[in-house]
Amino acid sequence: MQTSKRNFIRLAGALAVAATGAPALATPVRTSRGSYLIRNGAVITVDRATGTLPRADVLLRDGTIEKVGRGLRAPGVEVIDATDRIVMPGFVNSHYHLWSAIGRSFTAREGFSYYPAKGATSTLYTPEDFYNSVLLGCAELAHGGTTTVHNWSHNTRSPAHADAELRAHRQSLLRARYSYGHVDQMPADELNRYEDLARVRRDWFRERSPLAGLVHLGLNLRGPQQSTEAVFHEEMKFARASGLPVAIHAPQEAPNNVDALDYERRGYLGPDFMIAHYVPASPADLAALARTKTPLSFATHSELRLSGTGDARAALFAMRAAGLAVSLSSDATSIAPPDMFEAMRFTWNLGVPWAGTPSAGAKPVGVHEVIEMATINGAMALGLGDVTGSIVEGKRADIILVRTDDLNIGPVGNAETAIVQSGSAANVETVMVDGRILKRGGRLVAYDTPAIMRRARQSAERIRAAAGAALQS
């Protein structure tokens, strides 16, 4: 029997996965993309023209938001009763290192220290560990109402590791950007040549992609935080030639060697160049980001925990004053949980003006503003502002329903305040991505949760044992 070239490539890929020990793709309990009428909910549209509707309906057909209004009728569709529910767009996490999700309790021997713990473990992850970690992270995101994530893969150790992450993304059914990256702990003067990128684009992001249009490709560069200036600029040449959106870290420890004004002159900045952290940015730096509409991801917990280069609270006010559309993110699980309710609440409380500081005359960060940071701002940062992030006719059906008759959140007066001040993942009743229901009745229905936890635990225990004395028991 003759084997076609396409089938041979598929067979070779399957054998390569088998050789790495990566698990076979389990079949989730997939609900098909359906048509639904969500009725009688308090709808936070995150659309400034529409605002929040105290009681309204949302009609969804084949993954598209078809109509938003009162008294909608649609014979033949499934009705979802949203009485005592808040209906809103799913959250967008604009910066999350999903490969390390299983390492949430990896802690350096001296106590909490992210960098030593990462340094002791990043080389120990197998492709199977990557698969287990990304799928765990995505399931946790879905449980908490996050429907879109930027997987900032800054430890892409081999082609098999990249494939393992993308297989997990395929199974997760979340909307995502996968930012192909480098190998953690590369020498600063060594150029990352992205030798496998062409294959990844061909196998995973072709016209009839196995990711079904839910995941798009980006590039993660070390930036001047982890490489020399010369290497960074060489890698930027490649990134620009690739035509892919770029993401870099600004240092959270001195020295701060990110220079937005220089990058503006070089033509780097723009909607397709995301910077995470950038707490010590000067007013001139922030003005450059604003002029070029460069997205900035603010990982609230991480900025407070790790930033030794500036005042995170002051930075938040400065970013707002510059007119930046700041998005929220979680960074890594060993720093903070990927919980957008917690990120919103923390940011809201951080955004209180203090007397005797430059923020004294500023407007407080409001609940509507942090909801925008957690939804539409993240969508725009990922180039998906016309796809998701708000409940607007024509956008995709990435929607969550939040119970308001739970003890921790009700009774509800203002829906936006309830979400930010009191909401939690436990209140999320329904999660829908692209018209597919991933969580229903408060239970994840698209994942084999016990199997995900079992594999994640096995990976974490093996890595912890291999790291030995470098980690606390």
pLDDT digits (tens, 9 = 90+) for 167-219: 999 999 999 999 999 999 999 999 998 999 999 999 999 988 999 899 999 99
What is the rounded distance in angstroms from the CA atom of residue 134 to the CA atom of residue 100?
8
Please check the confidence at residue 371 and state whether its pLDDT lies above 60.
Answer: yes
What is the rounded distance in angstroms from the CA atom of residue 393 to the CA atom of residue 390?
9
Please check whether residue 15 lies inside any domain of the structure.
Answer: no
Angstrom distances, CA of residue 215 to CA of 156, 211, 218, 277, 432: 17, 6, 10, 24, 16
Cis-peptide into 224, omega within 30 deg: no
Could you tell me if 305 and 277 are in contact, meaning their C-beta atoms sit under 8 angstroms apart?
no
Predicted pLDDT at 261: 95
Q: DSSP assignment, residue 26?
A: P
Report the mean per-residue pLDDT for the chain: 91
Where is pLDDT greater, at 466 or 3?
466
Please check whether residue 454 lies inside any domain of the structure.
Answer: no
Predicted pLDDT at 10: 39
Q: What is the tally of structural domains in the chain?
A: 1
What is the rounded distance in angstroms from the CA atom of residue 118 to the CA atom of residue 106?
8
Please check whether residue 266 lies inside any domain of the structure.
Answer: yes
What average pLDDT does this structure show over 340-369? 94
Helix (H) or strand (E) holding 14: helix 5-20
Q: What angle in degrees, to the nearest 10, is found between the helix axes of 449-467 and 127-143?
A: 130
What is the rounded distance in angstroms from the CA atom of residue 398 to the CA atom of residue 58?
12
Please check whether residue 373 lies inside any domain of the structure.
Answer: yes
Per-residue pLDDT tens digits for 292-319: 999 999 999 999 988 877 789 999 999 9
Cis-peptide into 271, omega within 30 deg: no
Please check whether residue 78 lies inside any domain of the structure.
Answer: no
Residue ranges of alpha helices (H) inside 75-158 are 114-121, 127-143
Per-residue pLDDT tens digits for 235-285: 999 999 999 999 999 987 777 789 999 999 999 999 999 999 999 899 999
What is the rounded distance in angstroms from the CA atom of residue 331 to the CA atom of residue 94?
9
Q: Tell me which residue range forms the domain holding 216.
A: 91-381
Per-residue pLDDT tens digits for 106-164: 876 666 678 888 889 999 999 999 999 999 999 999 999 999 999 999 999 999 999 99
Tell me the residue length of the chain.
473
Residue owning tokens 């890595």: 463
- The amino acid occupying position 410 is G
What average pLDDT does this structure show over 399-425? 97
Predicted pLDDT at 109: 64
What is the CATH number for 173?
Answer: 3.20.20.140
Burial 356-371 (b: 16+ CB within 10 A, else e): eeebeebeebebbbbb
Please check the confidence at residue 400 and state whether its pLDDT lies above 50.
Answer: yes
What is the rounded distance in angstroms from the CA atom of residue 113 to the CA atom of residue 7?
47
Please check whether residue 70 lies inside any domain of the structure.
Answer: no
**100: Cβ–Cβ under 8 A, 6 or more apart, which residues?**
106, 118, 122, 133, 155, 332, 333, 334
Indicate the pTM of the whole model. Answer: 0.92
Predicted pLDDT at 9: 35
Please check whether residue 41 lies inside any domain of the structure.
Answer: no
Predicted pLDDT at 14: 39
The token pair at 309 is 């280069």
Per-residue pLDDT tens digits for 205-228: 998 899 989 999 999 999 888 899
Q: Which 3 state secondary structure label does DSSP give 380? A: helix
